[in-house]
Amino acid sequence: MRKKAYLLVILLLLVTMTLAACGQDSTQEPTQTTTGNQSSRSTLEVVKNRGYVIVGVNSKLPGFGYLEPDGSYSGFDVEFGRALAAAIFNDPNAVEFRPLSAKDRLTAVQTGEVDVLMRNTTWTISRDTSLGLNFAPTTFYDGQGMMVRKDSGINSLEDLDGARIGVQTGTTTELNLTDHMRKLNVDFEPIVFEDLDSVVAAYEAGSIDAWTTDISGLASRQATLADPNAHKVLPEVMSKEPLGPVVREGDDQWYDIVKWTIFATIEAEELGITQGNIDSFMNSDDPVFRRFLGVEGDLGTNLGLSNDFTVNIIKSVGNYGEIFDRYLGPDTVFNLERGLNDLWTNGGLMYAPPFR
């Protein structure tokens, strides 16, 4: 009898551990850490003393964050790292990029390994409130999609009954997939991978029927498949994935600097200020332009930066629309529509609070 009770306790423990592993923990989110001594130090001071900002990025997502064969980084997310360096140092190259996997990226922010994360990271309430992190404005509004081979006969998520679906650990993708398919009552076999290259390799090899991630990620990697035209993204969007920069909690000034760097790119687009024409606005009489460009007022020094930080950003990387077009627009293989990422004045969600 005692042995039975003992076995029952062991069994209960095992069940609890398995449930924990299948819940939030299965996404391998880091646990809460105190920001400790990080929070008492000014990140801006640390960055200035170091002489460059350390930005966590993706290295495997062409168009968003990609390590080029020559060792340089390119992409939409990466460019906001350069914008931040320009805002602080008036030098877009005063930045060191650190490649981070999905699984390690949030821990790298918590521990101070990076000053900011700019890597296709979804803003969720649990990440925002339980991990000691803060999310800066969304730079790319996305949603989760599913890629299949065109000749698979699969035309909707419902057709995936019995399918093997590849997904990456440490992402929102993993939980969304389970939730969404349960709602649709579709039975599938999740095949969980540690990194994106393995997901894509398994898909190319035909050992999984489909793979899922943010639609931006699907578009990015579709372009690198052996025959991009042999694949399609199903029409259903499974979730909301607002992607943007992440900083540690506890340093409001740093959080503000990252926020207003992003906003500066959006505001510049709204005002029609580009990398090419910015000089023509420097003598404007319009107080809106004068304040934004730091010709008058103290908007920059209030942040701990120079008043012309916006000018340094736009001269270095251009406005939001220029950044988008350079990496993702009609002249690129991705040819992504602006959609939700258009300015609010064009029906999108890109909206900067007033620079006043």
Ligand X SMILES: N[C@@H](CCC(=O)N[C@@H](CS)C(=O)NCC(=O)O)C(=O)O
Residues of the shown chain interacting with ligand X in the complex, contacts defined by CB under 6 A: 58, 60-61, 101-102, 120-122, 168, 171-173, 195-196, 213-214, 217, 241, 243
Nearer to ligand X, 127 or 291 (CB): 127
Cα–Cα nearest to 243, from 157, 123, 339: 123
Q: How far is the CB of 132 from ligand X (least distance, A)?
A: 17
Q: How far is the CB of 51 from ligand X (least distance, A)?
A: 28
Structure tokens belonging to residue 191: 């095949």
- Residue with smallest beta-carbon separation from ligand X: 217
Nearer to ligand X, 217 or 300 (CB): 217
Q: How far is the CB of 146 from ligand X (least distance, A)?
A: 13
Nearer to ligand X, 48 or 240 (CB): 240
- Please, what is the angle between helix 252-271 and helix 320-328, to 10°? 80
Nearer to ligand X, 213 or 319 (CB): 213
Nearer to ligand X, 92 or 217 (CB): 217
Q: How far is the CB of 271 from ligand X (least distance, A)?
A: 30
Q: How far is the CB of 39 from ligand X (least distance, A)?
A: 24
Q: What angle do CA 20, 29, 68 make, to 5 degrees?
A: 145
User: Helices marked H in the chain — which ranges?
Assistant: 2-22, 36-40, 43-50, 76-89, 105-110, 125-130, 172-184, 196-205, 215-222, 252-271, 287-292, 309-317, 320-328
Nearer to ligand X, 195 or 308 (CB): 195
Buried b (16+ CB within 10 A) or exposed e, 217-237: bbbbbbeeeeeeeebbebeee
Q: How far is the CB of 336 from ligand X (least distance, A)?
A: 14
The contacts of residue 262 (CB under 8 Å, 6+ apart) are 80, 83, 136, 137, 139, 244, 245
- Residue 67, φ and ψ in degrees, nearest 5: -90, 110
Residue 51: other Cβ atoms inside 10 A: 10
Estimate to the nearest angstrom the gap between the alpha carbon of 89 and the chain centroid: 23
Contact 132, 38 (CB under 8 A): no
Q: How far is the CB of 107 from ligand X (least distance, A)?
A: 13
Nearer to ligand X, 241 or 269 (CB): 241
